[in-house]
Amino acid sequence: MRFFLIDRITRWKPGKSAEAVKNIALSEDFFDDHFPLKPIMPGALILEGMAQLSGILIEEGVRIEEGRDVKALMSIVEKARFRKPAKPGDTLIYRTEVKSVNELGGRAEVKAMCGDELVAECAIVFTFHQIDNPRLDRKRSEVLALWLKGCPDA
């Protein structure tokens, strides 16, 4: 993964809901081009942060509840709306809620907030894939442990 767009998970209920924080810093390399003299976090990267949280939430729910090790890959983004730009110095709060899971995939509704203001919202549909790669599994576990460090629900 090129970008990790979550700094930490602050609320964690695997298979149900989660909340995470992303502090936006001027040093992020995407600001070099987006846009000079008026830095705005690209909407695609806000969406990616929402997908990272939602996907790992669904994966962990399936692992805990069904004992299956699946990888949730984003396949459909429904009704994406970007309401307000996110800029350096902002703290995004991603809030996601799992709406459904079956043997083929899952669906979550997710919002990105800055304070009380809605920045973006959408529903994301994930499909499950079996990926047998010990290195990927190890890296995923390391990233999740880092994100969950200090989370009272973990």
- Domain ranges within the chain, ordered by starting residue: 8-148
Which CATH code of 3.10.129.10, 1.10.3720.10, 3.40.30.10, 3.60.21.10 fits the domain covering 8-148? 3.10.129.10
Q: Which residues contact 86 (CB under 8 A, 6 or more apart)?
A: 24, 40, 41, 46, 92, 112, 114, 119
Distance CA 62, CA 50 (A): 19
For residues 58 and 46, give the distance between their C-alpha atoms in angstroms, rounded to a whole number: 19
Q: Which amino acid is at 1?
A: M
- Assess whether pLDDT exceeds 80 at residue 54: yes
If you average pLDDT over every residue of the chain, what do you get?
94
Query: Smallest Cα–Cα separation from 149: which of 1, 5, 6?
Result: 6
Residue-wise pLDDT tens digits, 8-30: 999 999 999 999 999 999 999 88
pLDDT at 3: 79
Q: Which of 11, 13, 34, 87 is catalytic?
A: 34
pLDDT category, 131, cuts 50, 70, 90?
confident
The answer, yes or no, to whether residue 95 has pLDDT greater than 70, is: yes
pTM value is 0.95
Report the 10 Å Cβ neighbour count for 88.
14
Q: Does 129 participate in catalysis according to the annotation?
A: no
Sequence-separated (6 or more) residues with CB below 8 Å from residue 42: 30, 34
Q: How many residues does the chain have?
A: 154
